[in-house]
């Protein structure tokens, strides 16, 4: 799973909490409420789909890994034969049963794989009269059952290999991207608050910005507003002295400067119609450093 998706996953949980805590702020904004309602119905689905992202650092032994592959290969072999036999007997098997794709087994968490093996065994046992001896033998089912038991009993169980199936990952990524677009819509619908409630709006924009995930890069994010009315200032120019990094504020009044040096430095902000601002800031390594700059209109 790439860092961008993981960052969005974390961001959506924060946005959901922010929207819940600040519901009275946008209670009169019908369009925004509708999007929030739709968005919040997807959050539990995202969290459930993201469960396979959890990583346990427990060492995973080679013997355990070898057993997992062996069990998966046996499941595929017997499942293929069982499907053929059941199809000829016109017995329907659900799509998620007796899978014939190896990755669908090896990507399962250990406990889930064990349960799946037993479920496949039960299906075959229930139809043994149809399957044996042309398709699946009882001795083969017994051998698979013993291998599943050996796998479950093996030491060094770990979730480190739990990455989800390709189908799970694809569905999860699609859902996160869909929610990314919904957050963009929410931010657009909330623009009316940039003057009426600039603190709420600024916090929403900040919360809805994915943070760097799994990296050690240092970045600076500057929110630029009008000192008089709190209005967001777009197309402002910002630069940092110690890294020679520069950038312009976007439609949300935000400038993001990545991979900057840590320590004290000078931040300079300029915008048409405003006085220049020069201030000393301290940048901490390996994180996103947030600053707000208020500009005073030029005489």
List the strands of the sheet with 219-226, edge to edge.
254-258, 219-226, 288-295
Query: Confidence band (pLDDT; 50, 70, 90) for 63?
Result: confident
- What is residue 172's predicted lDDT score, i.e. its pLDDT? 87
Residue of higher predicted confidence among 49 and 31: 31
Q: Span 5-18, mean pLDDT?
A: 88
This model's pTM is above 0.85:
no
Residue of higher predicted confidence among 135 and 162: 135
pLDDT digits (tens, 9 = 90+) for 250-278: 988 999 888 787 788 899 999 999 999 99
Query: Confidence band (pLDDT; 50, 70, 90) for 79?
Result: very high
Q: Is the pLDDT of residue 57 over 70?
A: no
Structure tokens at 235: 């197309």
Locus of tokens 């860092």: 3
- What is residue 223's predicted lDDT score, i.e. its pLDDT? 94
Burial 96-112 (b: 16+ CB within 10 A, else e): eebbeeeebbbbbbbee
Q: Span 44-66, mean pLDDT?
A: 70
Q: Are 223 and 254 in contact (CB under 8 A)?
A: yes
- What is residue 53's predicted lDDT score, i.e. its pLDDT? 59
Residue whose C-alpha is closest to residue 123's, from 101, 150, 144: 144
pLDDT digits (tens, 9 = 90+) for 99-132: 888 888 887 878 888 899 999 999 999 999 999 9
Partners of 238 in the β-ladder:
247, 269
CA distance 256 to 253: 10
Q: What is the mean pLDDT of the chain?
A: 85
Q: Are 270 and 236 in contact (CB under 8 A)?
A: yes
- What is residue 286's predicted lDDT score, i.e. its pLDDT? 60
Residue of higher predicted confidence among 239 and 155: 239
Which fold, 216-299?
Immunoglobulin-like (2.60.40)
Q: Span 173-188, mean pLDDT?
A: 92
pLDDT digits (tens, 9 = 90+) for 195-250: 888 889 888 988 888 765 444 457 889 999 999 988 999 989 999 887 778 889 99
């Amino acid at each position: 799973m790439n860092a961008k998706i993981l960052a969005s996953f974390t961001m959506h949980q924060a946005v959901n909490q922010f929207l819940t805590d600040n519901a009275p702020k946008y209670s009169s904004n019908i369009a925004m409420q509708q999007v929030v309602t739709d968005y919040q119905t997807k959050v539990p689905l995202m969290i459930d789909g993201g469960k396979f992202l959890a990583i346990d650092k427990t060492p995973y032994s080679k013997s355990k890994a070898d057993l997992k592959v062996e069990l998966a290969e046996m499941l595929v072999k017997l499942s293929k034969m069982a499907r053929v036999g059941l199809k000829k007997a016109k017995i329907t098997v659900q799509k998620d049963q007796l899978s014939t794709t190896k990755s669908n087994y090896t990507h399962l968490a250990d406990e889930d794989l064990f349960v799946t093996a037993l479920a496949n065994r039960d299906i075959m046992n229930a139809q043994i009269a149809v399957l044996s001896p042309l398709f699946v033998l009882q001795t083969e089912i017994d051998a698979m059952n013993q291998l599943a038991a050996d796998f479950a009993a093996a030491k060094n169980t770990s979730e480190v290999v739990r990455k989800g199936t390709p189908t799970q990952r694809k569905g999860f990524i699609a859902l996160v991207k869909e929610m990314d677009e919904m957050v963009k819509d929410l931010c657009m619908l909330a623009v009316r608050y940039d003057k009426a409630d600039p603190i709420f709006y600024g916090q929403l924009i900040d919360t809805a910005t994915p943070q760097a995930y799994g990296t050690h890069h240092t970045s600076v994010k500057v929110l630029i507003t009008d000192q008089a009315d709190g209005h967001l200032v777009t197309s402002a120019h910002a630069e940092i002295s110690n890294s020679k990094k520069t950038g312009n504020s976007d439609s949300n009044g935000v400038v993001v400067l990545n991979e900057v040096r840590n320590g004290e430095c000078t931040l300079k902000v300029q915008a048409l119609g405003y006085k220049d601002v020069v201030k000393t800031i301290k940048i901490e390594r390996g994180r996103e450093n947030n600053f707000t700059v208020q500009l005073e209109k030029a005489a």
